Chains A and B, each alone.
Chain A
Amino acid sequence: MIRAFLALSLTVLLAAPLRAEGVPIQEVTSPGGIDAWLVEERSIPFTALEILIKGGQALDPADKRGATNLMMGLLEEGAGELDAQAFSAARDGLAASFTFDSSRDAISITARFLSENRDEALALLREALINPRFDQFALDRVREQVLSGLRSDVLDPNEMASRTLSTLGYDDSHPYAHKTEGNLESVGALTREDIVTAHRNALVKDRIYVGVAGDINAEELGVLLDDLLGDLPTSTVPLPEQTAFAAPGGVTVVDFDTPQSVALFGHSGIPRDDPDFFAAFVANQIFGGGGRQSRLSDEVREKRGLTYSVGSYIVNREYADLVIGQLASANDRIAEAIDVVKEEWARIAETGVTAEELEEAKTYMTGSYPLRFDGNGRIAGILVVMQGQGLGVEYINERNDKVNAVTLEDIERVAKRIYRPEDLRFVVVGKPQGVEAVN
């Protein structure tokens, strides 16, 4: 689930990426009322389609954890007249690709199809979304695959760290306190009826965001949206409540026999719509977000050789905001790495950053901004993330100005809010030497 943390932090970074006057975004509303953002790019005869529907695994009731995850894995296992093998053969014969995925906060559908057989590809995708079969045989087969993944997760130090931090950080009544892909017991007990219910709850028209890039125009897209999504129902299950990461500061050690300890650490963060969000975003770029150029990387990796990779991330989940960091060091070196992280966490809170650091971060952030917009698949993904965060198309023109407007004083102010060493909760998985745990 470190991967989940990274993915979420990336969505923050990706919220930036458009070139102000380069590629135009069209706001499209279908005749049936479905909104989408489109970048028309006719030079290659295919289209990338990205759909995000908020809700996701967090919609599963406590006794049905994993239903949404398993359900999404079953959408490609037969629909309408086609069983799993016939569906897959039809899709492959068209050379289309469909990816169905789910996370804590949303489900996603990523599709790629050729212009020459667009209608057939979309008709097939529609069947998967609207009319999946959920055959018992497919359910049992895919369930075994999910269970095998869960058996591996139980022994994966990154997963263990993430799970432990979630349990420590959230009230047990909130889905965030739990592994929302489910566990061996809950997934083992899911029935076809549970899957049908999860489908009804997760695939809903009123929480949908669509990004499209490629060989299609607004009019064609309008028709496509209605055909593809028009028959989805509206939601009946409420979204989870807002919550907050509330674990007290300290260190938890999870004993696991492996040579390298994995450390995950964090505390509550800053909302995406906070007036100081951009100052926090820039501060974290300097502190731990800027790859090898960051302070954490410089202190822990470059100067001391204590890790291969260390980073910090401002994470805005749908129902909680966090500042998270991670690193991995040999069992006999992790204690020193943790000490350095704590010192840096305190140093930036106390003294902010230098004018030179701020300037370098700004040139990187504003200079890299136009570079991310290079490919239909990437563009479609970016368009969906922006919409999901409630940003307008004008954001692409304003984003670099917001970065450039951040001052040293802004960073000094926000650093005290987002780096609080006394609140920092570490989870260390491994056989760490010299690490004192409060557990």
Chain B
Amino acid sequence: MRNFLVGLFPALMLALPAQAADVSTFSLENGMDIVVIEDHRAPVVVHMVWYRVGSADEPAGSSGIAHYLEHLMFKATDELEAGEFSDTIARNGGSDNAFTSYDYTGYFQRIAADRLELVMRMEASRMDGLALVEEDIATERDVVIEERNLRTENDAGALFNEQMRAALYLNHRYGVPIIGWKHEADSLTLEDAEAFYEAHYGPNNAILVVAGDVDPQEVLSLAQTYYGTIPANPVIVPRERTQEPPQLAERRLRYADPRIGNDYVVRSYLAPERDAGAQEKAAALTILAELLGGSPTNSVFARKLQFETQKAVYTGAWYSGQSLDDTSFGMAIVPVEGVSLDDAEAALDQAVAEFLEEGVDSEELARIKMQIRASEIYALDSASSIANRYGAALTSGLTVKDVQAWPAILDAVTEENILAAAAEVFDKRKSVTGHVRQSEEVSQ
């Protein structure tokens, strides 16, 4: 569970100007945005197209359609046969894949830098030329069901996370799983996929991110040739989703599954996200999560619950501000044997209360900021991870400027900011608490 915190700090440019990644940005006339990140250490390029559409943009009743369509994008287009895209990439020594989240859908290839044009030509062909046929879609729906089995149905913790999110969001589509509820994902049709594709795909809803051994002007020129000739999709409109009403009632869930190895308590609070030009509160929450649960030895939870009272075998806290709409702040405790979940929850709440009373350990805050600064250097080792930061940010309502300002905003966070953000977010009326057990019978 320590993995929760990996990648919490989107580590980017700035702070050390000499070490900033080399980033260029352009826009095509049809509305497609372009970000180019140069890294000439190896003759490799990562080519990505991110669409500003994710599972939270699905119509009611068709959960899973964004992800299912992502799978179907590897089938036939006007110019390519089913499977030909990936086969061609492989024949050229490359690899490709795609991903779907709540706010975005992305397609990427990693290949020798001199094959960029080939990749762009094929990616452009499925931007407006997907040509689905019934026979392709039925087996692929079975594949998606097996993917859901693998990721969720076979994993009791993942099943419960779905229930947590559904309870946290009263009215927002973030409460619906990306892969879809099983009964809806089971019955998605060709028409559903086509309608979603036509409503959301097109250059004016896409961001091209190219990272690696490339010249930005050459990337622009290729992009004009292949993407610039695709007309903007006229039906695409800015995203407007159902939003959360005031949350007035604390929610509590109990779940039992014989496949749970260790009982635990998990809590999620509705929390504000990073907004364009207004990332300060999200920065404070990012550092709050690190202070509470970042270090397995020196975080507030580790010190109080694992070292002092020794009630926990594991504690954690997490927050990701990168989200188009309201996000969440989470925390969890796995008690040692002999401590009940009620006691564990009380201990977790007490640790938070004490933290708010005692304030921020200035030495730990300094260490966290040192790590943030260093992560800007370490991040330069992977152009593709920098590409991911830009793609995710730009599809989540942020701008290139916001991405580049983020490290300095994190660095400027003060104790007062952190305590104020904590006081605002830690409101149980806006929370869900889960008790997860192996057995219905409560021990102790």
Contacts and interface: CB of A to CB of B under 8 A. Distances in A.
Interface in B91-110: 91-95, 110
A399 to B, nearest CB: 13
Contact of A45 (B334, B375, B377): B377
A258 B154 contact: yes
Interface in A103-157: 112, 114, 141, 144-145, 148, 151-157
B241 interface: no
Contact of A151 (B87, B262, B363): B262
Contacts of B260: 155
Contacts of A148: 261-262, 313-314, 334
B247 interface: no
B299 to A, nearest CB: 10
A392 interface: no
A92 B154 contact: no
Given A148-B334, A302-B83, A305-B143, A92 B367 contact: yes
Given A95-B370, A148-B261, A376-B381, A364 B146 contact: no
Nearest to A361: B90
A305 B91 contact: no
B149 A373 contact: no
Interface stretch (B134-142, B344-352, B420-428): B134-142
A103 B387 CA distance: 33
A46 B94 contact: no
A141 B87 contact: no
Given A95-B374, A305-B138, A363 B93 contact: yes
Contacts of A32: none
B239 interface: no
A92 B19 CA distance: 21
A155 B314 CA distance: 19
Contacts of A95: 370-371, 373-375
Of B298, B303, B363, the most chain A CB neighbours within 10 A belong to: B298
B143 A41 contact: no
Interface stretch (A59-67, A236-244, A288-296): A288-296
A304 B139 contact: yes
A179 to B, nearest CB: 15
A141 B43 contact: no
A366 B258 CA distance: 47
A41 B380 CA distance: 12
Contact of B42 (A22, A152, A301, A364): A22
A231 interface: no
B81 interface: no
Interface string A303-319: 11111110000000000
A148 B382 CA distance: 34
A87 B297 CA distance: 9
B153 A259 contact: yes
A46 B406 CA distance: 22
B259 interface: yes
B111 interface: yes
A409 interface: no
Contacts of B94: 367-368, 371
A85 interface: yes
B269 to A, nearest CB: 25
B76 to A, nearest CB: 13
Given A92-B370, A154-B261, A363 B91 contact: yes
A43 interface: yes
B336 interface: yes
A157 B19 contact: no
A350 interface: no
B374 A114 contact: yes
B295 interface: yes
Contacts of A77: 297
Contacts of B153: 258-260
A364 B140 CA distance: 25
B377 A44 contact: yes
B43 A19 contact: yes
A262 B295 CA distance: 35
A85 B138 contact: no
B26 interface: no
B306 interface: yes
Interface string B352-368: 00000000000110111
Contact of A293 (B39, B90, B258): B90
B145 interface: yes
B337 to A, nearest CB: 8
B4 interface: no
A375 interface: yes
Contacts of A268: none
A296 B150 CA distance: 18
B307 to A, nearest CB: 7
A319 B224 CA distance: 55
A19 B43 CA distance: 9
B367 A93 contact: yes
Of B41, B258, B296, the most chain A CB neighbours within 10 A belong to: B41
A265 interface: no
Nearest to B261: A152
Contact of A370 (B42, B92, B334, B380): B42
A145 B314 contact: yes
A5 interface: no
B86 interface: yes
Of B95, B150, B297, B363, the most chain A CB neighbours within 10 A belong to: B297
Contact of B41 (A43, A155, A292, A363): A43
A123 to B, nearest CB: 17
Given A46-B378, A85-B297, A374 B143 contact: no
Contact of B313 (A19, A145, A156): A145
A387 to B, nearest CB: 21
A305 B142 contact: yes
B313 A364 contact: no
B8 to A, nearest CB: 14
A84 B297 contact: yes
Nearest to A262: B154
A305 B141 contact: yes
Interface of A: 19, 22-23, 41, 43-46, 48, 77, 84-85, 87-89, 92-95, 112, 114, 141, 144-145, 148, 151-157, 257-260, 262, 290-293, 301-309, 328-330, 333, 360, 363-371, 373-377
Closest 8 CB pairs of A and B: A367-B93, A305-B142, A95-B374, A152-B261, A305-B139, A260-B149, A374-B42, A88-B297
Given A77-B297, A89-B367, 11 more contacts: A85-B307, A89-B363, A89-B364, A93-B367, A157-B154, A257-B258, A260-B154, A306-B142, A363-B92, A364-B91, A367-B94
21 contacts: A44-B380, A45-B377, A46-B377, A85-B298, A85-B303, A94-B370, A95-B370, A95-B374, A145-B313, A148-B313, A151-B261, A260-B150, A290-B90, A293-B86, A293-B87, A308-B149, A329-B146, A364-B90, A367-B91, A367-B94, A370-B43
